[in-house]
Amino acid sequence: MSINLDSKIPAGPLADKWDNYKSDEKLVNPSNKRKFKIIVVGTGLAGASACATLAELGYQVEAFTFHDSPRRAHSIAAQGGINGAKNYRGDGDSVHRLFYDTIKGGDFRSRESNVHRLAQVSVDIIDQMVAQGVPFAREYGGMLDNRSFGGAQVSRTFYARGQTGQQLLLGAYQQMASQVGLGNIKLWNRMELVDVVVVDGQCAGIVTRDLMTGEIISHAAHAVVLATGGYGNAFFLSTNAMACNVTAAWRAHRKGAAFANPCYTQIHPTCIPQSDDFQSKLTLMSESLRNDGRVWVPAVAGDERAPHLIPEAERDYYLERLYPSFGNLAPRDISSRAAKRAVDSGRGVGPLKNGVYLDFADAIGRLGKSVVEERYGNLFEMYARITGEDPYTVPMRIYPASHYTMGGVWVDYELMTTIPGLYAAGEANFSDHGANRLGASALMQGLADGYFVLPYTISNYLAPMLNKAIPDTNHEAFKLAEREVKDRYSRYMSIGGRRSPDYFHREVGKIIWDYCGMERNQTGLEKALSELPALYEEFKTDLRVTGDSESMNQTLEKAGRVDDFFQLGMLMCKDALDREESCGGHFRSEHQTEEGEALRDDDNFAHVSAWEWSGDPTAPILHKENLEYEVVKLQTRSYK
Amino acid sequence: MSHSLKNLKLKIWRQKGPEDKGRFETYDIPEISDEASFLEMLDILNERLITDNTEPVSFDHDCREGICGTCSLMINGQAHGPQRASATCQLHMRTFKSGDEIVIEPWRASAFPIIKDLMVDRSAFDRIIESGGFITAATGGAPDANLIPIPKPVADAAMDSAACIGCGACVAACPNGAANLFTAAKLTHLNLLPQGQAERFKRSEAMVETMDSYFGSCTNHGECEAACPKEISVDVIAMMNSDYRKAKITNRKTLSRT
Ligand SMILES: Cc1cc2nc3c(=O)[nH]c(=O)nc-3n(C[C@H](O)[C@H](O)[C@H](O)COP(=O)(O)OP(=O)(O)OC[C@H]3O[C@@H](n4cnc5c(N)ncnc54)[C@H](O)[C@@H]3O)c2cc1C
Ligand code: FES
């Protein structure tokens, strides 16, 4: 199969591209829309908003989620907020500034045209969500309130207490539910996509496994959207929900969808440090806390005193010292590495010396406890529950953890993958965040894709297919896919080894974290690339899955997901090894400035690395999409 | 500093599938760190069961930070266990002590059939939302977000009830298996907001009647409020009842005009 990386960027000046696209695209007339069936996999922000909008337009929509309800998608856990270039503060914000901040935040490794469109539609998202009844925070006059997030010097983040993702997802879910109630969407819950089917070079549908009965079923459609989230759980420990996985994206990849920039992963600076070996996940403390909290460690290594006994002069507020203009709000990749260095220098705090302080004493002194409580009450409570410590009196302890994946399925301007008719939206695609995502931009991107991009671009693909029948699920391609899936799941059942899928997930995650985490280098990556295939062989011979495959079996579900993490892990390391530069979240220790900042190589690496599946997970094929900058000048990213 | 608990006895409900009768089985936990979360303790037990070639205990969970509403355990007869205002996943072993016997059951309510072990089917909640738990505002036509100012106290009150995570603890705690707190929380969220007024009475009528078709009826026990991980107050039920009564009148009036 040959991969075509035509990004289909519309003509015209950057600011006009999206309008030009919309005026030129092919439309499907309202009464013809019901002749088209669209499958949407995933009901997070990207999927729910796409389902609702496509159904409102009149398409037949079928929605799939492995959760018991669309409302459980991982988007629900987002805390801090969502960006929108509304300039309600009058502090100099604009579409252009949001666009520029996002490009710069992404360390000049994203596609200008996509990012500009994202900034343009960001304002419509806020309007849409307020119309849905999302109870965003308000000021006393009744107007919407804003806060600021890392990597920005304006306040453009809208929020609903520390539960912004929850409120946005419930808004999109409710909009979708109304269409389910009207019969315009068929909802398939507890159904997992386990393969993608291509017929005559076009996406024809999917194969699912019913998690309640183990039944393997084919579903056909004119177009398929994957809105299946990110792959941060490849590291095992991450802030993602336990069930987040890469299977949908990976199965599409194996059927011909290029996978872009898999090594661009985001390590979030403010998570609660690991406390034990049995830990199952890490908890994020929202970045918004850095608006008022100050990050510090003791100035000298080995200082064992309790934090309140360490005088000001003997503390190192290292973010304020190193990045005076952004201070505690320096972007995520930079803050994470700074924390890692502080801990590596022996100045880590807490029982395992694996954290740094995030201190609210000044904020409480300045604003009073009640204001701090109003802003962050639920986060403080969450922290206290987990650690048993009171952050109003003892500084929080935080440390970076895997949080978000910028890499993902390659898509063109229309969000179409390299398989015609297959789209990817939200965190599942690679499109907008380059090598590093700014805070409060993932929710924005998910909703932009689902509400305001896909509904336009899908019609451009469907229009010429009017009256083309939905592919038949008896087609040989579907039958073959079903057989392969059944074989794969019965193989997991019959290995009869000694180790659980979780055991392997932990081990594979540790290798990826150690060698392809916050800092990478050639030796480590080569080591990972020799250890991963060996461990993968062990997985194939020593896996144990109990129970049967004809009823609910969480161990079996997990086995399939871990299998795909293995293959993805090899691709992540390969990509990280190939990218001989540092940019954003990808930090190669061989490529840094004297001050330890990321050193990009624009001459050789201003491209997207899009990988093609070759049949052998250790030998993927690299394709490049060159990034051309019309408006932005490539600069060294500085937050000093 | 971390300590460990010794000699816990777990009595866990095991049920192979919806048709199976189900029974309690007892498992010993010789030692567990008090830093472990309750669900991590079950993870450790499950790893051990797999090693012993026994099927692990199925239970629902996902975010493990109290927001997705997936986890759902009845612990010693209390929905989400002994800690106030938290979901099962936020419970840590430091809440328990050595030698404790802990009884773990699924949500029990006729509207939530058991799928397997500790897992239940809560899709009846989705049906309630589908019947009216939304504001109809098709994508694309929304006015500027600041066009309608919403007084902060109203926005805050709407947010208080919108905080519901849809876990179903209210139903599990209710002797009648009623879903009034869940339904009323959504109605209060939407009915308080200016955007929600146009459909207020239609929504109230549809949601209440869908709720009644799946769930038991409320006899004001108030157990739901005590079990709610988000501390949603039973006051929302009063608002729902009043809106429902008005709805019956308003809708009849509207009907008579057409
Ligand atoms: C703790 C935390 C806090 C965050 N806070 C913020 C924030 O404040 N601001 C911000 O902008 N971003 C934040 N993010 C990032 C943001 O939440 C996510 O990137 C975003 O919500 C992803 O949305 P999505 O719709 O792409 O995917 P998800 O919400 O992850 O949804 C994925 C969907 O796909 C389904 N699915 C997946 N695979 C399959 C399959 N094989 N078969 C069937 N269904 C499948 C799932 O069931 C689910 O419905 C945060 C992330 C985390 C982890
Ligand atoms: S697992 Fe999400 S609320 Fe408990």
pLDDT band at A148 (very low <50, low <70, confident <90, very high): confident
Going by the DSSP 8-state scheme, the letter that residue A581 receives in this structure is S
Contact B136/B196 with Cβ under 8 angstroms? no
Q: Is A523 exposed, middle or buried (0-12, 13-18, 19+ CB in 10 A)?
A: exposed
What is the rounded (10 degree) CA torsion for A374, A379, A382, A386?
-130
**B103 and B35 both lie in a single domain:** yes
> What angle in degrees, to the nearest 10, is found between the helix axes of A501-516 and B38-51?
120
Q: Check whether residue B134 and residue B240 sit in a common domain.
A: yes
Q: How far is A208 from chain B, CA to nearest CA, in Å?
A: 19
Confidence at A331, pLDDT banded by 50, 70, 90: confident
CB–CB of B94 and A551 under 8 A?
A: no
pLDDT above 60 for B258: no
Per-residue pLDDT tens for A47-92?
Answer: 999 999 999 999 999 999 999 999 999 999 998 899 999 999 999 9
Ligand 2 contact via B39 beta carbon (within 6 Å)? no
- Name which of B44, B90, B151 is nearest A278 (Cβ-Cβ): B44
Q: Is B42 in the pocket of ligand 2 (CB under 6 A)?
A: no
Distance from CA of B219 to the nearest CA of A (A): 28
Interface touch B195/A130, C-beta < 8 Å = yes
Q: What is the pLDDT of residues A466-482, one digit of tens each?
A: 999 999 999 999 999 99
The whole-number pLDDT of residue A399 equals 95
**Cβ count within 10 A of residue B248:** 14
Half-sphere exposure for A609 (CA within 13 Å, toward CB): 24
Tell whether A494 is within 8 A of chain B (Cβ): no
**Among residues 271-290 of chain A, which lie with CB inside 8 Å of chain B?**
275-276, 278-281, 283-284
Most distant CA atoms of chain A, gap in Å:
76
Q: pLDDT digit string (tens) for A205-218?
A: 999 999 999 999 99
Q: Write down the CATH number for the domain with range A267-403.
A: 3.90.700.10
Secondary structure of residue A129 in the 3-state scheme = helix
Nearest to A56 among B139, B142, B150 (CB): B139
Q: How far apart are CA B78 and CA B170, in angstroms?
A: 11
**What confidence tens digit (pLDDT) does each residue in B148-181 have?**
999 999 999 999 999 999 999 999 999 999 999 9
CA distances from A21 to A419, A453, A454 (A): 21, 11, 13
| Same domain, yes or no: B109 and B136 | no
Task: Say how far apart CA A61 and CA A221 lie, in whole Å.
Answer: 9
Neighbours of B1 (CB within 10 A): 6
Residue B161 alpha carbon to ligand 2 centre in Å:
18
**Is residue B70 located within the same domain as residue B163?**
no
pLDDT band at B44 (very low <50, low <70, confident <90, very high): very high
Residues B111 and B127 occupy one common structural domain: no
Of chain A residues 425-454, which have a CB less than 8 A from chain B?
A: 451-452
Over residues B77-93, the mean pLDDT reads: 96
The DSSP-derived string for B16-29 is SSTTS--EEEEEEE
Q: What is the mean pLDDT of residues A324-340?
A: 91
Buried b (16+ CB within 10 A) or exposed e, B126-160: bbbbbbbbbbbbbbeebeebbeeebebebbbbbbb
Cβ-Cβ contacts under 8 Å, B232 against chain A = none
Q: What is the mean pLDDT of residues A256-273?
A: 96
- Residue A382: the pLDDT is 87
CB contact under 8 A, A278 and B40: yes
- pTM score, two decimals? 0.97
Separation of alpha carbons A170 and A166, rounded Å = 6
Residues B158, A135: C-beta atoms closer than 8 Å: yes
Mean of per-residue pLDDT scores for chain B: 95
| Nearest residue of chain B to residue A72 (CA atoms) | B68
Q: What is the CATH number of domain A476-588?
A: 1.20.58.100
Query: Residue A192: in which H helix or E strand, if any?
Result: strand A191-199
On whether any CB of chain B is under 8 Å from the CB of A86, the answer is: yes
Tell me which chain B residues have a C-beta less than 8 angstroms from the C-beta of A174.
129, 133-135
Q: Is B134 helix (H, G, I), strand (E, B) or coil?
A: coil
Distance CA B227, CA B84 (A): 7
B68 lines ligand 2 (CB under 6 A): yes
Q: Are strands A37-41 and A60-64 parallel, antiparallel or unpaired?
A: parallel
Question: Do B218 and B176 touch, CB atoms closer than 8 A?
Answer: yes
Which tokens is A302 given? Answer: 């080995």
Which of helix, strand or coil describes residue B202? helix
Q: Do B67 and B132 belong to one domain?
A: no
Q: Where are the beta strands (DSSP E) in A379-467?
A: 396-405, 408-409, 422-424
Interval between CA A612 and ligand 1 midpoint (Å):
25
Asked if the Cβ–Cβ distance from A552 to B58 is below 8 Å, we say yes
Torsions phi, psi of A405, nearest 5? -125, 115
Altogether, the residues listed in chain A come to a count of: 640
d(CA A362, CA B112): 49
CB contacts of B56 in chain A (<8 Å) are 546, 554-555
Which of A138, A280, A551 is closest, CB to CB, to B155? A138
With 90 as the cut, is the pLDDT of residue B253 above it?
no
Last residue of a domain, one of B89, B116, B143: B116
HSE of A389, CA atoms in CB hemisphere, 13 A:
14
Q: Is the pLDDT of residue A7 over 50?
A: yes
pLDDT at A376 over 90: no
Query: According to the model, what pLDDT value does residue B255 have?
Result: 60
End-to-end Cα separation, chain A, in angstroms: 47
How far CA B30 is from CA of A298, A354, B103, in Å, comes to: 39, 29, 16
What are A219-247's pLDDT values in tens digits? 999 999 999 999 999 999 999 999 999 99
The pLDDT, as a whole number, for residue B256 is: 56
Report the candidate in B197, B211, B173, B177 with the shortest Cα–Cα distance to residue B247: B197
DSSP result, A345-380? III-BTTTT-BEEEE-HHHHHHH-HHHHHHHHHHHH
Query: Do B139 and B246 fall into the same domain?
Result: yes
**Which pair of structure tokens corresponds to residue A500?**
């659980």
- pLDDT at res. A52: 98
CATH number of the domain encompassing residue B227: 1.10.1060.10
User: By residue range, what is the domain housing residue B26?
Assistant: 5-116
| CB atoms closer than 10 angstroms to residue A201 | 11
Judged against a pLDDT cut of 90, whether residue B192 lies above it is answered with yes
Q: Could you tell me the sign of the dihedral formed by the alpha carbons of A482, A488, A493, A494, in that order?
A: positive
Confidence of residue B91 (pLDDT cuts 50, 70, 90): very high
Q: Are residues B110 and B196 in the same domain?
A: no
Of A78, A419, A406, the C-alpha closest to A226 is: A419
**Does residue A368 register a pLDDT over 70?**
yes
Chain A residues with CB-CB distance to B90 below 8 A? 382, 385-386
The pLDDT of residue A520 is 97
Q: What is the CATH number for B36?
A: 3.10.20.30
Determine the pLDDT at residue A485.
98
Domain end (from B116, B141, B166): B116
Task: Clarify whether residues B132 and B161 are in a common domain.
Answer: yes
B158 and B228 together in one domain: yes
Q: Where are the alpha helices (DSSP H) in B101-258?
A: 123-132, 152-162, 169-173, 180-192, 200-214, 223-227, 235-257
**What are A512-552's pLDDT values in tens digits?**
999 999 999 999 999 999 999 999 999 999 999 999 999 99
> Above 50 in pLDDT, residue B219?
yes
Look at the alpha carbons of B9, B13, B15, B21 in this order and tell me if their dihedral is positive or negative: positive
DSSP string, A375-390: HHHHHHHHHHHHHS--
Cβ atoms A629, A116 nearer than 8 A: no
Residue ranges of domains in chain A = 267-403, 476-588
For residues B212 and B178, membership in a common domain is answered with yes
Top residue of A136, A170, A375 to mutate, by most chain B CBs within 10 Å, is A170
Mean pLDDT of A619-640: 92
Give the residue from B58, B85, B116 where a domain finishes. Answer: B116
Q: Looking at the 3D structure of chain B, how many domains does it have?
A: 2
Q: What is the pLDDT of residue A190?
A: 98
Q: pLDDT for A567-584, tens place per residue?
A: 999 999 999 999 999 999
Query: Residue A368: which residues within 8 A CB-CB, separation 6 or more?
Result: none
What distance separates the 2 farthest-apart alpha carbons in chain B? 71
User: Sorting pLDDT into bands at 50, 70 and 90, what band is A418?
Assistant: very high
Residue A123 CB neighbour total at 10 angstroms: 17
Burial of A610-637, coded b for 16+ CB within 10 Å and e otherwise, reads: bbbbeeebeebeebebebeeeeeeeeeb
Question: Of the residues B37, B40, B71, which should be mutated to test ligand 2's pocket, given the most ligand atoms within 8 Å of the CB?
Answer: B71
Pick from A167, A166, A207, A173: nearest CA to A187: A173
What distance in angstroms lies between residue B65's CA and the mean position of ligand 2's atoms? 6
